[in-house]
Amino acid sequence: MKRSNTFKIVLKQVGSLLILLGFVVAIPAIIAAIYTEWYSVAGFLLSALIIMGTGLLLFKGFYHVEEPRFNHSLIIAATGWLGIAILGGLPFLIIAFITPVDVMNQFIPNDVTYTFSSLVYFRNPLHCFFESMSAYTTTGLSMAVHEPSVGKGVLFIAISPNGSAVQGL
C-alpha cells in the first residue's frame, strides 16, 4: 500500500459518513413542515442536499481506492467527526440567513421579556459549529440563549437526541 493512498481512503470513508449525515439533517424538515416553518424546511433540505452532494463527490471520487485497514480507523473517526461537526452546522447557518427577521420574531413566546430570536446567533458560523458539535455529541449545550425562540425544527436538531443517530454510524 502506498502512503499517498491513506488520504484517499480517509476521504472516501468520510464521504460515506457525510451521505448518511445528509439523511439525518433532512429529518427535522418533517418537524418544521408540521409546524409550518417553511424557511426551516427549505434550510434543512438545502443543507441535506449540500451535505449529501459533498459526501457523494468524496465517495465516488475515491470509489476505487482500497478498503480501509485498522491503521486508518483513528484518522477516519477524527476526520469524520470534524466533517460531521462542520457540515452539521450548515442547517443552522442557512436557516439563520434565509429566515426574515419578522418571521424569526414570530418564534418568540408572548410571555417573555427578550425581544429577538436566538436564531440570530446562528448567523455566526462558529456558533453553528458549536451547536452542531454539541448536538451530535449529545452534550445538551446550546448557543441559543432562548431556546423556544429558534423554531421547532431547529430546536429538534439542536437539543433533541437526533444527533445520536450519527453516533450509531
Residues 89/125, Cβ–Cβ less than 8 Å:
yes
CA atoms of 77 and 8, how far apart (whole Å): 14
Residue type, 143: M
Residues in the chain: 169
pLDDT for 51 equals 98
| 54-63 residue pLDDT tens | 999 999 999 9
How far is C-alpha 116 from the chain's CA centre? 23
pLDDT tops 80 at residue 88? yes
pLDDT for 166 equals 40
Total Cβ atoms within 10 A of residue 11? 18
pLDDT for 147 equals 76
Phi, psi of 103 (to 5 degrees): -70, -40
Nearest Cα to 117, choosing from 98, 97, 103?
103
* Helix-helix angle 152-159:5-34, to 10 degrees: 140
In degrees, rounded to 5, the angle at the alpha carbon of residue 64 between the alpha carbons of residues 63 and 69 is 90
Q: How far is CA 5 from CA 37, 55, 61, 69, 81, in A?
A: 45, 18, 13, 11, 20
Look up the domain containing 44 and give its range: 5-167
Tell me the average pLDDT across 134-152.
Answer: 77
The three three-digit cell numbers of residue 19, written as one number:
451521505
114 or 152: whose pLDDT is higher?
A: 152
Work out how many domains the chain is built from and give that number. Answer: 1
In a 13 Å sphere around the CA of 99, the CA atoms on its Cβ side amount to 35
pLDDT tops 70 at residue 140? no
pLDDT band at 111 (very low <50, low <70, confident <90, very high): confident
| 25-84 residue pLDDT tens | 999 999 999 999 999 999 999 999 999 999 999 999 999 998 988 889 999 999 999 999
pLDDT for 18 equals 97
Q: What integer best gives the mean pLDDT of the chain?
A: 87
